[in-house]
């Protein structure tokens, strides 16, 4: 681990009330006890959430900045006197249910305005949370096994989510080295986490709810051999803090700046569906052995649904529950190494697979009664 610390820093966290944002803020408070201030940026910040941070806040000032990330004035105010920006806010949409203008405005325009605010307010460091999906998989479902930052992969991104995250990542990396108003230069980098799981993961809650409706049998949407390597939310936050330390280290700044890094951990490679079962089996859930229909026929069904929705688009916006690109993502082997992040950022997963799994299972267990009551009452 890098010996640099964030002592005295003013940290700006966008998406502060999101899944990763909440964990990052708590980790900054616990691990970086001398952080001067953390600024929580989100559309709205729950007062109850702020109260929950009092037990670990110490002397760190917590400031709330509620607003729209597409508002440049709002971002400039939030960046005044800041040391580092952790840019987590984005729209995650794997069903293409969000209008393109909306997702582009948040994911791309918001990021560009944030970078401009950093330049205007002379914020020296900017870390962007990207996603594995800027890499693919491509529509052909070409696999990657233990890929790295030098892996060549031909991909045409079909999801608006993937393409907008890719453009925002590129803008972030190109901004590295831009001159700030005080004459110094901006340092940027991007992290590409795998599928992030852990306490607070809404996707896991959704799969659990589907399983409850199906009499505690989880749906299988991916074949067992489609291996991916999910990453625990706590380890993603460790990587974020290490990136911030590295950008502030004069010996590392130029080497790390302008680059992206894959972030995974020691979670075993497993298919998406089997991962859901792994963390829910202790709660009494089983899983179907096979896909509901053969994969090829699944694609045909998705094509028909997509075509119907497209034909009806002039009259009503319908979103199919599953599309071909999502089906490809769920059924393509796609694993990556974190060795470059380890070598250059000093990232080491702090939470073992056993710890990550235990924490995730305990959290899911705490949510199960409310989920059952909610579904049974419908």
Q: How far apart are CA 312 and CA 317, in angstroms?
A: 7
Q: With b meaning 16 or more CB within 10 Å and e meaning fewer, what string describes 142-179? A: ebbeebebeeeeebebbbbbbbbbbbbbbbbbebbeee
Contact 78, 50 (CB under 8 A): no
Decide: residue 222, CB within 10 A, 0-12 exposed, 13-18 middle, 19+ buried: buried
CA distances (Å), 243 to each of 78, 85, 155, 311, 360, in order? 21, 11, 27, 46, 25
Contact 266, 337 (CB under 8 A): no
Q: With b meaning 16 or more CB within 10 Å and e meaning fewer, what string describes 30-51? A: eebeebbbbbbbbeebeeeeee
Q: Which ranges of 128-200 does DSSP label H, i.e. alpha helix?
A: 160-174
DSSP-assigned states of every residue in 66-87: ES-TT-HHHHHHHHTT-SEEEE
Q: Angle, nearest 10°, between helix axes 202-213 and 272-280?
A: 80
Residue position matching structure tokens 């916006």: 317
DSSP-based three-state secondary structure for 59: coil
Backbone angles phi, psi at 138, to 5 degrees: -75, 165
Residue position matching structure tokens 């491509």: 138
Question: 161 an active-site residue?
Answer: yes
Among 65, 104, 128, 161, the one annotated catalytic: 161
Contact 84, 60 (CB under 8 A): no
CA 195 to chain centre: 7
* Residues identified as active-site: 161
């Amino acid at each position: 681990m890098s010996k640099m610390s964030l002592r005295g820093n003013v940290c700006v966290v966008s998406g502060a009330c999101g899944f990763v944002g909440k964990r990052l803020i708590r980790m900054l408070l616990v691990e970086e006890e001398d952080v001067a201030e953390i600024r929580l940026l989100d559309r709205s910040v729950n007062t109850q959430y702020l109260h929950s941070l009092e037990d670990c806040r110490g002397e760190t000032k917590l400031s709330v900045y509620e607003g729209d990330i597409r508002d440049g004035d709002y971002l400039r105010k939030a960046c005044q006197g800041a040391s580092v920006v952790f840019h987590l806010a984005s729209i995650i949409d794997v069903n293409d249910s969000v209008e393109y203008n909306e997702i582009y405005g948040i994911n791309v325009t918001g990021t560009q305005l944030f970078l401009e605010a950093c330049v205007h307010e002379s914020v020296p460091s900017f870390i962007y949370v990207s996603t594995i999906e800027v890499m693919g998989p491509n529509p052909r479902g070409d696999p990657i096994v233990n890929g790295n930052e030098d892996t060549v992969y031909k991909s045409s991104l079909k999801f608006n989510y993937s393409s907008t995250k890719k453009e925002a990542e590129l803008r972030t990396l190109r901004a590295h080295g831009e001159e700030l108003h005080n004459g110094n230069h901006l340092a940027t980098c991007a992290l590409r986490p795998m599928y992030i799981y852990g306490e607070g993961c809404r996707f896991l809650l959704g799969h659990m709810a589907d399983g409850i409706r199906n009499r505690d049998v989880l749906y299988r949407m991916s074949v067992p051999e489609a291996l991916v390597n999910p990453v625990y939310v706590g380890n993603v936050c460790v990587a974020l803090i290490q990136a911030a330390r590295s950008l502030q280290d004069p010996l590392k700044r130029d080497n790390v700046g302008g680059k992206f890094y894959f972030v995974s951990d020691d979670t075993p490679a497993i298919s998406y569906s089997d991962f859901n079962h792994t963390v829910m089996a202790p709660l009494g859930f089983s899983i179907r052995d096979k896909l509901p229909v053969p994969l090829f026929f699944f694609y045909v069904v998705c094509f028909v649904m997509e075509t119907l929705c497209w034909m009806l688009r002039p009259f009503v916006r319908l979103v199919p529950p599953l599309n071909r690109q999502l089906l490809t993502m769920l059924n393509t082997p796609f694993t990556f190494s974190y060795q470059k992040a380890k070598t250059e950022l000093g990232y080491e997963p702090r939470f073992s697979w056993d710890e990550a799994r235990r924490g995730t299972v305990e959290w899911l267990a705490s949510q199960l009664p409310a989920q059952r009551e909610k579904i049974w009452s419908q």
